[in-house]
Every structure is written in C-alpha cells, then in structure tokens.
Structure 1
Amino acid sequence: MWSVRLLSTVLSLHYAVLGTCNPLLIHPTKRFAYSNAGDQLSDSYDFVIIGGGQAGLTLASRLSEDQNTTVLVIEAGDTGEAVQNQINTPSSTYFNSLTKSEYDWAYITSAQQNLGGRSVSWPRGKVLGGSSAINGMYLVRPSQIEVDAWSAMMGDAEGASAWSWSEFDSAMKKSETFTPPNDDVKTLAKIEYNADSFGSNGPIHASYPGFTFDTIGDWNTALVNAGIPMNSDPASGKNWGGFVANSFINPTNWTRSYARSAYIDPLPPRPNLSILVKSIVTKIHFASSDDLTATAVEFAETRDGERHTVGVKKEVILAGGAVGSPQILMVSGVGPRDVLEAAGVQVVHELPGVGEHLQDHLSTTVIFSTNKDTARSLYASGAVNTPQFLSYVNSAIAYVNSSYLFGSDENAATLKSGAEQAYSDSLIPSNNAEVIAGGKAIYNVMTQKIFDSEVGQIELLINMMFQDSISIGVGLQHPLSQGRLYINSSSAFDYPVIDPNYLSNPIDKTILRQGIKTARLLSTISPLSNALQGETSPGSNVVTDEDIENWLAQQVGTEYHPSSSCAMLPKEQGGVVDAKLKVYGLNNVRVADASVFPFGFAAHLGGPTYGLAEQAANIIRAQYNGGTAPGSSNSGGSGSSNSGNQNNSNSAFKLTWSWLTIAISLFLGATMM
C-alpha cells in the first residue's frame, strides 16, 4: 500500500532518452523531484474539472491551450506510473488486466431481479486516463441515424444542432489520427476502410494491431456467406455490417493510445494546467444566492481526512463518468429530493433526472473449442513476444439489425409493434412525471427510429483471447430496460447504488436470444466453421427459446458501456443538462462525459466520448473567447469575462509545467514503471 499525504507533491517531469529500454514503454524515463505542494496549488482556478479520465483530460488539454486560462483536474486515482507497462501494452487488457486492482473502482450493481438475483461487476478506471487506460481499446463510431436522433430529442433548444451528425462527426475526427493497417495484417484479416472518414491530426491514434490471425479473415468471409455484408466505410455514419474496428493503438511503438498518453503527456510546458491525483471530490459548494453559482470544490484524500477547497472563477465541469458525475451532483445537494433527503443531504437544487435513465450494453459469450492458435495459446507458449504480437486485441465485429436477427422485415416490424405495445410507465423506475416522460421519449426513439432501421441491435465480436477456444460475443446495443443510480449516504466515499434494471423489459431478452442464435449460425458457416470444433457454452443442452432465455439470465453481464445518468434531454423530460451541457438550474456547472448521452449507441463509447469532450471544449471556449459556439449562429461572448487575450494554439509555453500528485512513501530514487 502507498502512504499518501494530501496535496503533498509536485512531480516535475524531466525527460530522458528512451535508449534501449523496453520497447513497450511509451513515456521516457522520468526523474521525479519531490517537494511540498502546499504552496503549489492555487487558491482558485478558472475551470475545475472533476475527473481525470477520458473526457476530463481531453477538456483539460483543450481548455489550457488558452494560456491565460487556468485549469485544475481533480482525479480520484493515481497517475498510473507504477503500472505503466500494463497500461501501455494493449494485450495486457486481457492477459494482465488492471481490473479488480487499486486502479479499478470495482463497482458492483445491486441484485438484479431478472438475472436471478445476481449482482454484476462494473469495472471503471480509477487512474489518470480513467477507463481509457484499462479498456479494450475499440474505436467504433455511432451511426448518423443515432446521433441525429439524439440531437432531435433536444428540439429547437439553443445549441442542439451541435450534436447533429455533421457537427459531432467533426468533433470525433478532431480527436484522432488514423493510420492504416500494415499490408500483412490487412491481407490476412481482410480489412477494409476509408481513410477519408477519419481524422488525420488529432491526439488519439486510430489504427490497428500489428498482428492478426487468419481466423479473423475467415470470420469476415463467414459473415458475408451468412448474409452479413462487409462494411468498407463504417466510420462514415453507416456503421452496420461486418468490419475490423479501429483500435486505440499507437502504431509507432504498438502501445495503448489513451487520454493521458495522447492529451497530456505530449504537452509542452504549460503552467496554467494542474492535475491533482488521489483526491476524492466530496462536494461542490454553491453561493447562497438564487443563481446557484458554484464557488468552490471540496476534496479529501480519505474519508476521515482533512477537507480542502479550491475556488472556482468560471466553471465546474463534471467528467466523472456515468457513475461519478451523478454521484457528485447528489452529494452536493443536486438531484431527486426524495433521494437526497433519505441520504441526509441538504437539497440545494431539486433536479429529478440526476441518476435516472441509466442504460448499459448487456452481453454474453458463445464459446467453441478449437485446435487453432489463439492469442492466449501463443502468449502462454512464449513463442511470440514481439511488440507487434503484444499489440493484438480483439477488434473484428459485426452489427446486425432487427431484420437480420428475426429473419425478415416483416418479423422486425412485428418486433417493433410488440415493443411499442410492451411499454408501460411501470418500466421506468421512478414516480416522477418528468423522469417518466423522458423514459418514454427514449423508448420511442428506440422503437420508432432505431428498431426498424439498418442500425445494429446486436453486436457480434470474435474473441481470440481464450486458451484452446474461440468465442463469439453477443452484445445488446439498444436496451429498452432503463435503470437508475442513487446515493444512500451523504459521503462521496460510499459507492452509490447502481441498478441498471437489466432485462426488466422482455424485449431485451428476446433480442439477446436471437443474438445467441445468430452466433450459433455463424459457427456453422465456412470457413469459420473449420476453426471451431464444438460449442462448450451454452452447450448442446441449451436448445429451446426458453432454455436460451433461462441461460441468459444466469450468464449476461456488462459490456462496459454505461451511459445516460445525466441525460441531455429537455428539463420537462427529466433531463440533467441542456444542449450546452449546462446543468439545469445551476449557473456554472456542466457535465461532459458519457453520462449525458440520452441513450446508448450501437458502438463502443470511447470514440463518442472523445468527440463529446472535444465538442464541449469548443462550446466552452466559444463562450469565453467570444467566438461562435458549435450549433449556434450567435457569438458566445456572454458569461464571465476572460482575463487577457486567448491563444488557441497548442504552441509551447516557456515556463515550467508540473503535475500535482500525492506523495508516495517510496525512496526518492525508486524507478516508476
């Protein structure tokens, strides 16, 4: 365990040449100068960002490009230096995972009634970079149909068009630099792509592993033979069909490209940016006036440790993710009145939608034995240990729509009709009229705009990471089941109750069942069938629809994509933020992370979250710099005045930049990995 001392250390980074060190180290060797940081943290900052994860670090990097703007990031986890090799090595996410370690929040849901009373593990990254430091590195764009449906939910609200496909696609592209696969990987895996659909000058790398298997090419051929077409341009807004997804991998050294390595580590000296780690935000303080202006953020190292506060000159930006952001709002007195009062929290502002509309992709796996090489078998043998091989991660997927899953357009229409008829207010876990209205609005988008479209309802993923087996993952992309998240304690150190309400809507179970059948069908299609020797799970005794549904209740779990707990919806629909990401009723608090998506996409949420954070930075900078905000024809110069002229470039600043972190009781000469 690490002995820590709040606000105690500045890490001044002095870079040395990599030389002949491990090729999987993305960062140069660092020498750390420890000193007391009590006088290093300023009394106040223009922007205080709560959460140093994927969205938080993106925002910190972009906002601090304006050299007269001061930014503080407060991150609950550590820097990740001690486990940098695990983070950097892509395959470690499977072979040497940081889940269930101190770098994982290790949330657990409440007992799920429709899963036989099981609770489900919810890993989330508790480290600088957040879940982008521990996830599977899939880079998948949502479809234009979904994004435009999201934007349309905000109606004619000011700024709503910032979330239309054309605007959001530009923001996602801004985050990334695309690199095509090498020729061998492209040929063997039968990869198709359109480079024009990606960004070319962003911090995050969008590329492919440096190693693959012929089984991936067989998978893609089998998809076509099964009637699922290959998609040569899945990033263009039409993301259905089969393709090998991009991965967040830096192809110059075959390492993970994540929020810290992309948006923070390459920065020039930047004295206006501070990052505080190993500190839990305990509360946002508000002025005792009618405008509910956030004036300070309170934080502490431990439950019983001293509380510290830092002042807020302009805004607080919540970037704690689908769990952290609603929790911090609630412990600060913003949320459903009944929840706050039951938890012993004084109500500062009643906002019923906080923590509501929670959604998550639900998934399971069909497993087959094999005598083919897998990544796990090669890794275990030690026969291959190159950086290219260690960059291998699963990335071959297919999104299949209702018509394919149920055999025809007519059957898909029957599903849609059944889903519409299955709706009941009782499916929304709230008695609040606004929240119920929002739940129904989300439900209607699913049934009326998504279900009978080409958008995938099931994601299929081939998994080469098991020993002596190959599996096909089956993930529900648009659950009709909606849950909630709420506090039952006034302490930010106590985890909230997470109730995704899995499979509360029977349509979800029906769609997942068809996904299992589709995975089984694919296993019989040549040439993939040549690699599969027999199904080991669910197994030959799980045959009927009832068998499959009973098995699902015992086996399904998260696909690690929680969203929507601070939904961008109209206030009268239980919304938490408006189209400019401002929390309703609060003067200067925004939320900018996956919690604001009003529904889950047929996509992994990494790419969309970077896009959301980039767009949030565009909106905020336009307001304070006097520019035109995305989705608005008006100048965004209203709001607090900025001190001095702004510099939007990423040019170097010739002053010392330092990170604030927590002291570690290690010898000063200890080497950090």
Structure 2
Amino acid sequence: MRPLSALLYAAPALAAGIVYNDQIDAAYDFVIAGGGLAGLVLASRLSEDSNTTVLVLEAGASGDAVKSRIDIPGNAYYSSLLGTTYDWQYVTEPQARLGNRQLPWPRGKTLGGSTAVNGLYLVRPSALEVDAWSQLLPGQSSAAAWSWASLFEAMKKSENFTEPSEKIKNAGRIMYDITSHGRSGPLHYSYPGYIVPIVGNWTATLDWIGIPPSPDANGGSGWGGFIATSSINPTNWTRSYSRSAYIDPLGPRPNLAILPNATVTRILWAPQKDGNGKAIASGVEFASDRGAPRRTVNARKEVILAGGAIGSPNIAMHSGIGPRNVLERLNIPVVYELPGVGAHLQDHLATEVVFRTTAETAASIRNSDQLDNGTAAPFLSFINSAIAYANITDLFGDWAPTFQEELRANLTDSLNRLSLTTDDRVKKGYQAVYEMTMNKLLMSQVGQVELLFSLTGTSSGSDTIAIQAALQHPFSQGHLYINTTDPFDSPVIDPNYLAHDGDILMLREGLKLARKLGQTQPLNASIVEEVSPGNAIQTDDDWDGWLLGKVQTEYHPGCTMSMLPEDHAGVVDSDLRLYGTSNVRVADSSIFPIQFAAHLMAPTYGMAEQAASVIKAQYNGAPPPASTVSTSAPGSATQTGSPSSSGGNTNGASRFGIAPMIGSVVVGLAGCLVMW
C-alpha cells in the first residue's frame, strides 16, 4: 500500500470567517456556542444575509494541524483522533446494570465537532419516527416544522448526492431512489470508491433470514437491509463534514467570525426581563482554557446553544437554567428552573458477534501492502456501510404482541423505578416518550435493533469480521448534571443503561440475529468459526450475562434538551426557544425528544437547516418552514421467515425478570465499534 503520507492533501486557503489572530468584535447579532455540526450549518446559513453578523465560539482547535487525518475516511479506523485533544474524552458514571463499568463517550472537539471524527454514516430516520416527534408537541405553533414532510425537505436541502459507479453499485448490490435525494446542497452524500467483495453478500444473507432489502432507505422507510450513504466527497475521496461542506467553500464574509479554542462558560443575562417576564441574554462569557482570562461578547439578537447533547446542557446549567436542586446545591443563581435540562438522556447501546473468515476484509487488504498505485485513495474511502434495521417481529416472532403488552403492564413500575428524579414533570415526559414508542413505533416496521457489518478488523485480528447489534429505541433514560461551578469540568453523565429489562431482551435477540447471519448463506460460505461470544453462549441467561459485560455506546447521545411541552420537562419549544428566555435557542442533537432508528448525523443536518429557516423567518419576514404534516401510515411489523429463522424467541415471555448482574467483564473494543 502507498503510505498515507502520499495521500496528504494540501491545506486550503484560510476558510471564510475562521479567526486565527484571536481578534473579534465586541458584539454580533447572533452568537453561536459550538462550532460542530449544527453550529457551522447555522453560521453559514444565517450569514448569507450580509446585514447579519454571526460569531461562532468553538472550544476545540481549528483542525488544520490534523487535516489529513480528518480528510481520509478510512482514518476513522486506522488513524483515529479519538483519545487525543480533538476528543472531549467524556466518561460515564459507573453503570449498575453493566457491572459498574464506566464507558468512554468520545465526542469531537474541533471545528466540525463529531462530523470530523465519526464513522461517516448518513442514515435517515423513518417517517413514522419523525412524525412521532411532531406529535409530542400538541398545540405548539411550529410543531409541523418537525414532521417528516418538513424534515425530509430540510435533509435534502443539505445534500449533494452522487450516484455510485456501476461497478460499485453492482459490487455492493446498492439500491436507492434518486428522488429521495438532494443534488445541490453543501454536504456530499455518496458511497466509497472501493467495496470489499464480501459486502455483496450482506443483503442476500439478510433476505434469507426474513429481513428484505430496502429499495429506498432514505425516503422515509428506513428498515430492512441496505448499503448506507456516507459523508464522502467522491471528487477526491475525502470526508465531507460540516466545516468542509458549509464553511471552507465560502468566499470572504466579513459578517462571519469563527473563533476556535474558545469555550463558552456561561450565558450573560440582562439585568431586567422582558415584558413577559422572560430572561434576556445579553451575550456570553468564554475563555481559551481553564486558567485563561474570561472574555465576553455581546449578542444583539440571540444566543444559540449548539454544543451537542453534553455541551448545551452543561452551558445552560452553568448559566442558571436547569434543575433547581442542582443549581442551588452549587449556589448558582436560578435564572429559570427547567428540570428537563440534562434529563431524558437516551443513547444507542451496542456490541458485536465476531467471526473468523477466509474472505478478504478491509483490514487484511490494508495490511497486505498489495494495493497498486492509484488505488490507495479509493480504498481508504472504504468505510463500514452495510447495515440493517430489524423490527420487533424480526426479533421476537409471534411473541412480539406479548412483549408489547408486558411493556404496557410495566409502565407504572417503570415510571417509579427507573426515573432518576422525583420531579413529576420529568416523569410526565418519560411517560409521553415511553407511550409514543410503545404505541406508535414498537409494532410498526421501524427497526428496534440495528445490525451493522464491520470489515475493518477486530481485536481478534484482521482475518475477522463482526456483526454489531445496537438497541435503537431504549426504554431506559438517563441524565447528566453538573457537580462543580467550573465549566471546564466534565458534567456527571449517567445514561442509566439497560435499566429497563425490555432493553436487554431486544438487544439479546438482535445479537442472536447477528449470530444467525454468520450461519446463513451466502455469508456462511466464508465463515470459519464464531470467535466471540463463541459456542459456550447458548441460553438466554448466557446471552444476558455476556452482553452486560460487553456493550458500549454507539456514539449517539441525545435528548438532553428535549423539544417537549414545558410541563413534560421540555427544554425548548417548537421554535427552538429555551423556555423562560426571550432570545436563547438550542439547535443540536440534544433537542430530539426520542431516539431514532438511524445515525444522528443526517437528522441533525436536517434539524440545523430547519432551525436556520425558523430563525430567518422571524427576522427577515420570510415564509415559515414547510408545515405540511406527513401522513405516514403506521404499518405493522411483518416477517417473511418463520420465528425461528428470524431470531424470534418464544421463551422470552418469562424474561422480564432479568437475573441480577453476575459481575463485569471489561474488554477493550477501541477501534471496533466505530459506528457513528
């Protein structure tokens, strides 16, 4: 293989607005806290009006010094920035159900945020899920802006789709509907320039176990098996991320400033409230590091929090917005009590079944040093993208309706036992999401477990492949909160993983499906053995004990600043305004009230585009965002194969009383579960 140094890309001319001399103005119309995915989308869109001034404050560095490591897609596996200064390196609290393991939670800390370091998946949620979001906002004036019809158009607005070559299309058995894609947006959606041959067996093997191929996974029916689109620029096989898509191509914009190495420490408030008794943000305080002088900048119109699912609630609480008991314990003056700040935390949880194979893998090809000149760049654009979403009938077969009834019967117990707070508003929000998931999504075609085909090597060697299973709609919710007054300290993160027994059941059945895929044609023709968990794991109790010691994050935290009614512990309304304030909004993955059966990057790009439209409509007199409510039919979960062929487990009826955790097994999976 040609060395990676041969693939380094020349640094571009200084991108529009990025400030390298630390000099900014005293005031801007909009001050955006966070230069990740949503922050840079908003900066680009709001500054399209030359009369509007925009400042972005990003805690991390510009990323210029590690440009080649960001740009090469394969570096997500082979030269990752995780664990470096470009990663926030968060760690969870000990998780009781996981044997008190503390799980790493990496997040991107640079311009582009996690879009600069993730696994590049562009997987959209299904229409049913997005419409469920809008239905959680009864009576809110802009609820329809968050229906599928509206978010679908916003996601397409962000997109510049390139069809794969016939060679790549045939090699991967790739299916898509061109009408579900945008062609003129900033962000590249495409496929790798190289397909490892075994990928071609993915959808055929899924079909054999009753999970059919999806002909249009991006059009609102994101279930079944498919090869996902990725954020790759096919003109040069580089990563397309929020900085390279929305900022670097811009010409000079004197009304836009983007300051790296600037951590927002708190929002500053005007001494008086507005006529409705709401707090008015006058600006923000920020600093380059813990020991640096604190600086301030004024906001003429709005402060926008775009710090992500961890950063935005962290800023809000240090600014006096959040749960009263948290703020008063730290003697932080309560500007407005919002118990939902940091609450409703949801994440995708995953682990994998590993097989030894005789087939080529991406890892074995890379290690072979046999790539011809001119093929290294397309090969290094290869990333894992073979994926499937298994619905509840795929998991449980004929027992699925019984599972739903057990969930319904356990609602009251779940509210009392699983809630990490006594606040009735938080419990009402939990109940609303629980019931929406149980009644609208669970028995539909929407996936409850994601299956992902990983070919980039495991800790067992380059001749191994993995099929990962990830829970998509957890009934367990966690929270995060601050426990010091220093905004440079990480918040306390407690995802409360697998606290609800139903989550364990669904993940277990997903792992059984992963095993069955490795035993099914045509994939099984190249499988030598199952390496992990191996033949010793057979019974339900075996699976449960094993997975509790193995699971880790799929890197999709969200919902900590949920868009819900305020009396459901919501944090923002349907116009993204922070309750109790007149001019603070939140725009990032923290505002989703439910988890999607998807990777969060695509819906967050759509959300950010929609947020820009909402804000522009207020200030520029533009028409409001599309308000057509889609009428996606709920459908029902169906299964082509028999329950036994799909992993359905008729013994599941007795499994709501999961046995106590039997001890933790700490494993090193760094570099394996790169599924962003």
Q: Taking structure 2 as the reference length, what is the TM-score of the superposition?
A: 0.88
Match of 2:429 among 432, 438, 457: 438
Match status 1:465 vs 2:459: no
Q: Provide the secondary structure at the position in 1 that maps to 2:479.
A: strand
- 1:31, distance to aligned residue in structure 2 (A): 11
Counterpart of 2:379 in structure 1 is: 389
Q: Is the 8 A contact 2:15 2:249 kept in 1?
A: no
How far off its partner does 1:345 sit?
A: 1.6
Which amino acid is 1:302 matched to?
Answer: D
2:347 is equivalent to residue 360 of structure 1: yes
Structure 2: which amino acid aligns with 1:343?
L
Distance 1:29 1:288, change over 3 A: closer
1:209 counterpart letter in structure 2: P
Deviation at 1:33? Answer: 14
Whether the 8 Å contact between 2:263 and 2:289 is mirrored in structure 1 is yes
Equivalents in 2 of 1:126, 1:419: separation in Å?
39
Pairing partner for 1:251 from 217, 234, 252: 234
Identity score, percent: 51
- Aligned partner of 1:157: which letter? Q
For 1:382, give the aligned amino acid: D
Aligned positions of 1:77-156 closer than 5 A: 77-156=60-139
Q: CA deviation digits over 1:47-106, x for unaligned, max 9?
A: 000000000000000000000000000000001111110100000000110000000001
How far apart in 2 are the matches of 1:297 and 1:622? 24
Superposition pairs for residues 275-286 of structure 1, below 5 Å?
A: 275-286=258-269
Does residue 566 of structure 1 match 2:561?
yes
SS class of match (1:555): coil
Name the amino acid aligned to 1:41.
Answer: I
Do the aligned partners of residues 568 and 509 (structure 1) sit closer, same or farther apart at CA in structure 2, a change above 3 Å counting? Answer: same
1:329 aligns with 2:316: yes
Say whether residues 1:75 and 2:65 are aligned partners: no
In structure 2, the residue matched to 1:184 is 167
Which whole-Å CA distance do the structure 1 matches of 2:256 and 2:290 have between them? 27
Shift of 1:447: 0.6
* Structure 2 residue 439 is matched with structure 1 residue 448: yes
- Equivalenced residue count is 610
CA–CA distance in structure 1, aligned partners of residues 200 and 93 of structure 2: 40
- TM-aligned CA distance change 1:577 to 1:536, over 3 Å: same
Q: 2:401 aligns with which of 413, 416, 423?
A: 413
SS in 2 for 1:262: helix
- Give the conservation status (yes or no) of the 8 Å contact 1:564–1:596: yes
Q: Report the counterpart of residue 613 of structure 1 in structure 2.
A: 608
Q: Is the 8 A contact 1:483 1:501 kept in 2?
A: yes
What SS does the aligned partner of 2:218 have?
helix
User: Residue type of the partner of 1:268?
Assistant: G
Mapped to 1, the partners of 2:16 and 2:306 lie a distance apart of 28
CA distance in 1, matches of 2:611, 2:592: 13
When structure 1 is superposed on structure 2, of 380-389 and 324-333 the one drifting more is: 380-389
Give the partner amino acid of 2:27. S
Contact 2:425 2:569 survives alignment (8 Å): yes
Could you tell me how far apart the structure 1 residues matched to 2:167 and 2:254 are? 44
Question: C-alpha displacement at 1:532, in angstroms?
Answer: 1.3
Amino acid at match of 2:84: S
| Distance in 2, Cα, partners of 1:332 & 1:136 | 33
Gaps of at least 5 residues in structure 1 are 1-20, 634-673
Q: Deviations over 1:458-480 (max 9, x none)?
A: 10010000011010010100000
Aligned twin of 2:522: 527
- CA distance change for structure 1 residues 519 and 33 in 2, over 3 Å: closer, same or farther? closer
Correspondence 1:551 to 2:546 = yes
Q: Matches of 2:549 and 2:493 in 1, distance apart?
A: 19
Q: CA contact under 8 A between 2:18 and 2:257: conserved in structure 1? A: no
Question: Which runs of no fewer than 5 residues in structure 2 stay unpaired?
Answer: 629-676
The residue that corresponds to 2:642 in the other structure is none
Displacement of 1:143 after TM fit? 0.3
C-alpha deviation, 1:304, in angstroms: 2.3
Match of 1:195 in 2: 178
Partner of residue 645, structure 2:
none
Deviation, 1:396, is 0.6
Q: Report the Cα offset of residue 182 of structure 1.
A: 1.3
Residues in 2 aligned to 1:308 and 1:353: alpha-carbon distance in whole angstroms: 29
The separation in 1 between residues aligned to 2:376 and 2:337, in whole angstroms, is 55
Q: Does the Cα contact within 8 Å between 1:26 and 1:255 map onto a contact in 2?
A: no
Q: Match for 1:304 among 285, 291, 297?
A: 291
Counterpart in 2 of 1:25? 9
Q: Separation in 1 of the partners of 2:557 and 2:258? A: 26
**1:369-391: per-residue Cα shift (whole Å, max 9, x none)?**
11211111111222126110000
Q: Which residue of 2 aligns with 1:474?
A: 469
CA contact (8 A) 1:24 1:253 kept: no
Counterpart for residue 9 of structure 1: none
Q: Aligned equivalents of 2:490 and 2:27: distance in 1?
A: 28
Deviation (angstroms), 1:222: 0.6
Structure 1 length normalisation: TM-score?
0.89
Q: 1:310 to 1:600 in 2, by over 3 A?
A: same
Rounded to whole Å, the distance in 2 between the matches of 1:171 and 1:211 is 29
Rounded to whole Å, the distance in 2 between the matches of 1:34 and 1:148 is: 37
Residue-by-residue CA offset, 1:590-609 (whole Å, 9 max, x unaligned): 00000000011000000000
1:543 positional shift: 1.1
Aligned match of 2:577 in 579, 582, 585? 582
